[in-house]
A and B are shown apart, each in its own frame.
Chain A
Amino acid sequence: MIRVLLVDDHILFRKGLVNILNEEEAIEVAGEASNGEEAIEKARELMPDVILMDINMPKCNGLEATRIIKSEMPYVKIVMLTVSDDDDKLFESIKSGAQGYLLKNLEPEDLVVYLTGVMKGETPISGLMATKIFEHFTGGQPTNEPKIDREKKPLTKREIEVLQLVIKGATNRDIALDLHISENTVKNHLRNIMEKLHMQNRIQAATYALKEGLIREI
């Protein structure tokens, strides 16, 4: 049974949540709070598994309440549930210790799935907010290649030869014949190359290697 504390000053919304969650056998609404101060008190008293926390509330906002609750009860999972899709609030929530960030326009059944998931260690995040996180780390540029600088191990002479042939459109069999090695050896080389360059497939690896000057276009 997942015991949930609902924190929201919006009465109508909070009551809607109570009714939705009370219908679930695996979830129990342990309590409700209408501001951050009350949330801290109720969290101490009820020791819930999960807190669904609004951000904009009187007295003490959801971010401050999250910081205090997480410092006292780090095991309590806090998921922000807000109408705000503001970047600052999202990142501030993560820094405050929130395990997830959901927008209030979600479907009731999705909320139940997210709550069940958070108890399994998942991170519930609304699609729009996940995009914001991704954009933050990729500098806002949509790309198929990782922008984060990760340590990339140098390629061997043989691996460069393999990539050189990949860029020409050669199949594994072509490469094997050209380099006088078995197809399995080619596969192993490609596997190593992808791992070294942190790429998902041979085309990505070859394109990256070309762009970075690791191989030459013929």
Chain B
Amino acid sequence: MDKPITVMMTFSNPILVRAIKDLLGDNNAVNLREIPLSSVTCEDEKNIDVILCETEVLSVLEQQHVCLAPRALGISVWNNMLSISKGDLQSYNDLEEIVNYIIQIGKQSHINVKCEACGTDSQKKI
């Protein structure tokens, strides 16, 4: 059995936090944890496979934590839209689509990169 992927969620909306916990909490493929956005550092690259955040937060991650940005999945508070840090935006009709996206990001292979913002050597998922 594959090692569970570590998913960190940084939502500030309490109902969305609860919804994500309900969605992923019992999923054996996922190890779900909560972390405030302000606590995220590039060092977390070693421990985090996927960051779930509000869509608006993606640009913050791209600016402040380049090495973590490719692992982020933005979930809109406004509508049924998902986005990844490259700017793609797409709608979902089913909650399973969110789960599939998370697992897909978490399982992608790694390449070595150096974070230009903080200089940390890390692995970037492609």
Contacts from A to B (Cβ < 8 Å) = 9-13, 15-17, 19-20, 56, 83, 104-108, 111
Contacts and interface: CB of A to CB of B under 8 A. Distances in A.
Given A10-B79, A15-B95, A104-B77, A20 B16 contact: no
Nearest to B75: A12
Chain A binding surface SS class: helix
A56 B79 CA distance: 9
Contacts of B92: 11
Contacts of B16: 12-13, 16
B80 A105 contact: no
A195 B16 CA distance: 48
A16 B78 CA distance: 14
Given A10-B79, A11-B80, A12-B80, A107 B14 contact: yes
Contacts of B15: 13, 16-17, 20, 104-106, 108, 111
B22 interface: yes
Nearest to B81: A10
Contact of B18 (A10, A19, A56, A83): A19
Contacts of B75: 12
A106 B14 CA distance: 7
Interface residues of B, number: 20
A108 B92 CA distance: 24
B19 interface: yes
A83 B56 CA distance: 14
Interface of B: 12-16, 18-20, 22-23, 75, 77-80, 92-95, 98
Q: Which 3 A-B pairs have the closest CB atoms?
A: A16-B19, A16-B15, A16-B18
B73 to A, nearest CB: 12
B77 A9 contact: no
Contacts of A9: 79-80
B10 to A, nearest CB: 15
Contacts of A11: 80, 92-95
B79 A15 contact: no
A105 B18 CA distance: 12
15 contacts: A10-B77, A10-B79, A11-B93, A12-B95, A13-B15, A13-B16, A13-B77, A15-B22, A15-B95, A16-B18, A19-B22, A20-B18, A106-B14, A107-B14, A108-B18
Contacts of A19: 18-19, 22
Nearest to A82: B78
A86 B54 CA distance: 20
Contacts of A12: 16, 19-20, 23, 75, 80, 95, 98
